Chains A and B, each alone.
Chain A
C-alpha cells in the first residue's frame, strides 16, 4: 500500500483529484502514527482532535464530491457501497473516541489503534488498482474540476470544524 514517489508523480500528472485525496491519506497516516508515538501523550488532546477533524473532513468531501462523481463515471456500485459502509464504521469509532476520556488510557489508546487499522485497510482498498483512487480511473472523470471542488469544500469544512471544535459530527454538513 506504500505509494512510491514515482507513482505519486505519475498520478499527479494523470489525475489531480486522486492525488489530492491520496496526499490526504498520507497526511492522515503520518498524524495518526504520530498520535501513537510514546512522547505524544502530553499533546494528545490537540493532536488527536486535529487528526480526527482531518479524517472527518476527508471523508465528507469524498462522500459529497468524489464518490458520487466516481460512481456516475464508473458505475462501480459495489465498490461505492463498500466505501460508504467503511466510512460509517470509521465515523462510529471516531464518535466513540470523541465520547471517551483520554484519561481512560489503555482503552482509549486501543481505540486509536483500531482507528489506525481500519483506516489503513480502507485506504489500501481505495488505492488498489481497481479501487476508487486506483490506477484504473474511468475516463469520464474530470479530475481537475473535481480537485478544485474538493479543495474548496475541504477548506470550508475545516474552517467550520476548527471554529466549533466541540460540535463533532453534529456540525451541519450539507
Chain B
C-alpha cells in the first residue's frame, strides 16, 4: 500500500512551486480514489484513516497556497476574478474538511461528504492546472524561489500539526497525527 507514496513528505518534494502543487494534487487524487475503493468494501476505521490523511494534505496545501503562492500569483497575473474564485473554493472546501474532522466513518452522511469534497477539489484542481498555472508560467514568476518558501512553510506546518515527514519511510508506516492537531489546524485556518 501507499505509505511512502501518499504520506505527507516535504523533504523530498520537487522545489518548483508548480511542480510541488501538482504533486500534491496527484497525492490527493490518489487518496480519494483509495477512499472510493474503501467506500465499497472498507471498514469505517480504514475510511476514516484515509479521510484524515486527505484532510491533513488539503489543510497544509491550502495554507501554503493562501499564504505564499496565491499572493505572489495575484500580483503577477492580471486575472483577479480567477484568484477570487479559487479563494471561495478554498473557503467551501475548508468547511467540508472541518466537518469531516469532527466525524467518524459510521456517520450516515460521511461517505457522501467525502464524495462531495472530492468533486469540489477536482474542480479546484482543474481551475489551477488548466487556468492558473499556464498564466503563472507565462508571467515568468520565480517559481523556484516560491517553491523553496512553500516547502519551508510546509515543513513548519507539518511540525506544528504533529505530522511526521514520512516521505522516506517504508510502506505501511502511516504518519502519526497527534490527537488535537486537526482541530488546531482548523482553528488556525479560520482565524
Q: Residues on A close to B: CB < 8 A?
A: 78, 81-82, 84-86, 89, 92-93, 96, 106-107, 109-111, 113-114, 117-118, 121
Among listed B44-52, B111-119, B142-150, B154-162, interface-contacting one: B111-119
Q: Residues on B close to A: CB < 8 A?
A: 80-81, 84-85, 87-89, 91-92, 95-96, 108-109, 111-113, 115-116, 119-120, 123
Q: Are B109 and A84 in contact (CB under 8 A)?
A: yes
Q: Are B92 and A114 in contact (CB under 8 A)?
A: yes
Give the distance to chain B from A111, nearest Cβ to Cβ, in Å. Answer: 5
What are 10 residue pairs bridging A and B, where the CB atoms are less than 8 Å apart in the complex? Answer: A82-B112, A85-B109, A85-B112, A85-B113, A106-B84, A109-B81, A110-B85, A113-B85, A113-B88, A114-B89
Q: Are B85 and A114 in contact (CB under 8 A)?
A: yes
Known contacts A81-B109, A81-B111, A93-B92, A110 near B116 by CB under 8 Å: no
Give the distance to chain A from B75, nearest Cβ to Cβ, in Å. Answer: 15
Interface of chain A: mostly helix, strand, loop or mixed: helix
Residue of B nearest to A114 (CB): B88
Q: Are B112 and A84 in contact (CB under 8 A)?
A: yes
A92 to B123, CA, bound (A): 18
Q: Are B95 and A92 in contact (CB under 8 A)?
A: yes
